Amino acid sequence: MEGVDPLFYAHFLFRRRRYTEAADVCSELLAKNPYDKAAWYLKTRCLTEDVRIDETELEEEGLAEVMLDENAVASVPRPGTSFSRPLTDSGSSRGIRPMSKSGRPVSGFARPGTQGARPSTMEAAVRTARSATSRPVTSASGRYVRLGTASMLSGDDGTFIDVSKLDLRKYAFRRGLARALVLYILHVLNDTGKAMELAAYATEAARFQDWWWKAILGFCYHRLNLFRDAEKQLKSSFKQTPSILACMLLAKVYIRMDQPQNAIQCYREGLEKFPDEPVLLAGIARVFEGIGDLTKSVEEYKKLLKVDSTNVEAIASLAADKFYGDQPEIALVFYRRLLQMGVESAELFNNLGLSCFQAQQYDMALGCFERALSMADDEAMSDIWYNIAFVGMSLGNVKLAREALVLAVTCDSTNGEAYNNLGVIEQRKGNSGDARGHYQTAIKVSPHIHEPHYNYALMSLEAGDLQQAYKQVNDALQLYSAHLPSQDLLKELKATLSQHAS
């Protein structure tokens, strides 16, 4: 690119999202003239955009926040008004729709936050953090710090901007530069305190009339877990100039404060100003899913799909709903649509395989599972083998099922469902010792599922260990109080015990 103005060239690269190259060009310009504001501005933008993630939709609570913070007002809220107590009796029951590792109904679309529930003890929390999920320790240190390290690599000649040496008050009056700078501080340097200082000066410089700075202030407060202050700033920003940014951030704040009703209200207000905004529609759907109101969630996803026909999240969620709603053929249509759109992952083929199997297209099912296995990582692999075992069991091929389950637990030793099924197979074969071992492992690795408790109780009853049976069936009922077979078993047990007593 000889003869082109370097600054123009840098802009050209920036527009094409070739940020590193653009930054290099700017660095050369700055080497010639360190006071070139345009180059300085562009380089700041490049470095920021290189590492920035749009956080308006992403919500990830760190372990520390989950364990140590009490942001929620109500400790025992009415079911369905809080994320910690989802509605239990709406949508499909637990017998039909399985739970994820955290004890929430499996969602069609994996987002940060959907896999992890609130662990009850610190020990459980730390253990799951290490093995199963990738929850950060705190939201303030976890993900952001990881991103922060990226900036250190880029600065081979030391960091680009040393914020501690800047006079932030001075920058607050340079509107364009200040905005680029605050984003750089937030996303690259990851110094929320400094960003806040700058934002505070800048809003003051704008005589508290600039919605963008208010939103950024709110964003900083949110990062620091100062939710009340964040709420105030974001509300004021939205009131002054409605923006999707402020609306999304405000809803995020409400979600962190465990006030789903307010979050929905906030999204709805946003939708009044920005009708049919897919991001807001998706937000509502997610909140409904979070409080366990799956029916309403599906409705919102349908609205979203009408607006944005290529929304992967909506398609996947609807597919999952149809699948568990006993309409595998329709689920198949949705999954095929995903395939058409070019989404290709082990999970998708796995789901396709299951849907095919349920729709009685057996030849397709095994093919899909094979494709899934070929592109799966360990965790997904375990689930795929589990599903193959399920197919095997349904077809009466116990040998295939057993082999597949053994492979499933080899891939992921915390797959409680696989252990449970393995136990059932061993019990059928008469190896009650092995079966008990499997049930016990299942209970230990997945304390949220009720099936191993029930199976264990059943086996203990047959073996005459009434006390164990009583204990296990009670545990099963505690996890899932509407489980009819457990209730019957308990009744039977009580009758037997009273007979023995008399």
Partner 1 sequence: MSAPSQLSTAFTLKLGFDVQPGCVAVGRLDGVHPCLVCAAPGGKVVVHSPHHAKGDVQHSKKRSDISVLRFNREVTRLCCGSLEASGASQQPDLVFVGSSDNLTAYDVVNNCDKFSVEAADGCSALCIGKLKDSDPLVFIGGTCSIYGYDADGNDQFWTVTGDDVTAMAVGPFTTGDAELVVGSEDFDIRSFNADAELLVEISERDAITQLIRLSGQRFAFSLANGTVGVFQSSTLLWSHKTKHQATALAAYDINFDGVPELAVGWADGRVDVFNPKTGDIITSQSMKAAIAGLAVADYRMEGKETLIAVSIDGRVCGFSIGMQRDQRHTAAPVVQEDLSARLRLLQQKKKDLQYRLSALSQQTAGTKRKQQQPSEQDHMIMATHITTELKAEDGKVILTIATSSGAPIRSVVLFADGLFEGESYVMHCAESAKSDITISLVPPRLEAFVIDAKVLVGPPTATKLGVCEVRVHVPKFASFHRADVPEPTGAVTFPLQAAQTDKVVAWVNKHFLLPSPVTGLVPPIGFASPSGSIYLVQHGNNLVIGADRGELASILLQSLTSEVKLKAAESAKSTFPSQLEELQDTLRSVSDLHAARQKLSVEIADQSNLAKSLLLRAEDYRMMGNFAMMRGTYLQLGDVNRDLIKAYNIRNSNYDELVRQLKALNQFISRTADLYVGKARTDLIASCRAAIKANDMDQLFNLLKSGATASPSSPSATDV
472 Cβ contact list (under 8 Å, min separation 6): 453, 454, 456, 457, 460
H helical segments located in 131-226: 142-154, 168-172, 175-184, 192-205, 211-223
Q: Does 131 bind partner 1 (CB under 8 A)?
A: no
- The one among 20, 120, 261, 467 contacting partner 1 by CB under 8 A: 261
- Considering CB under 8 A, how many residues would be counted as binding partner 1? 57
Q: Does 192 bind partner 1 (CB under 8 A)?
A: yes
Q: Does 140 bind partner 1 (CB under 8 A)?
A: yes
- The one among 166, 226, 271, 398 contacting partner 1 by CB under 8 A: 226
Q: Does 75 bind partner 1 (CB under 8 A)?
A: yes
CA dist., res. 284 & res. 264, Å (int):
6
Interface region with partner 1, contact rule CB under 8 A, candidates 39-47, 93-101, 192-200, 382-390: 192-200
Interface region with partner 1, contact rule CB under 8 A, candidates 177-185, 199-207, 282-290, 419-427: 199-207
Beta-sheet strands, E only, within 269-378: none
Q: How far is the CB of 360 from partner 1 (least distance, A)?
A: 38
Nearest to 255 by CA among 70, 80, 82: 82
Q: How far is the CB of 194 from partner 1 (least distance, A)?
A: 10
- The one among 90, 133, 154, 265 contacting partner 1 by CB under 8 A: 265
- The one among 54, 76, 396, 500 contacting partner 1 by CB under 8 A: 76
- The one among 30, 67, 177, 359 contacting partner 1 by CB under 8 A: 67
CA dist., res. 129 & res. 284, Å (int):
28
CA dist., res. 125 & res. 123, Å (int):
5
Site for partner 1 in 385-444 (CB under 8 A): none
Nearest to 222 by CA among 195, 253, 197: 253
- The one among 7, 51, 72, 497 contacting partner 1 by CB under 8 A: 72
CA dist., res. 29 & res. 47, Å (int):
15
Asked if residues 284 and 268 have their Cβ atoms less than 8 Å apart, the reply is yes
Asked if residues 27 and 7 have their Cβ atoms less than 8 Å apart, the reply is no
469-477 long-range contacts, Cβ below 8 Å, gap at least 24?
469/493, 470/497, 475/443, 475/450, 476/450, 476/451, 477/450
Assigned token pair, 73: 């007002």
Which is closer to partner 1, CB of 93 or CB of 410?
A: 93
Which is closer to partner 1, CB of 322 or CB of 483?
A: 483
Q: How many CA atoms lie within 13 A of 378 on its CB side?
A: 10
Positive/negative CA dihedral, 126, 130, 132, 134: positive
Assigned token pair, 137: 């320790």
Q: Does 87 bind partner 1 (CB under 8 A)?
A: no
Q: How far is the CB of 387 from partner 1 (least distance, A)?
A: 33
Which is closer to partner 1, CB of 106 or CB of 137?
A: 137
Asked if residues 486 and 493 have their Cβ atoms less than 8 Å apart, the reply is no
Q: Does 190 bind partner 1 (CB under 8 A)?
A: no
Q: Does 122 bind partner 1 (CB under 8 A)?
A: yes
The residues that bridge with 158 in the sheet, in sequence order, are 156
Q: How far is the CB of 303 from partner 1 (least distance, A)?
A: 23
Which is closer to partner 1, CB of 26 or CB of 284?
A: 284
Q: Does 197 bind partner 1 (CB under 8 A)?
A: yes
- The one among 100, 241, 262, 361 contacting partner 1 by CB under 8 A: 262
Interface region with partner 1, contact rule CB under 8 A, candidates 35-43, 223-231, 313-321, 347-355: 223-231
Q: Does 231 bind partner 1 (CB under 8 A)?
A: yes
List of residues contacting partner 1 (CB under 8 A) = 62-65, 67-79, 81-82, 122-123, 125-127, 129-130, 137-138, 140-141, 192-193, 196-197, 200, 203-204, 207-209, 224-226, 228-229, 231-232, 236, 240, 254, 257-262, 265
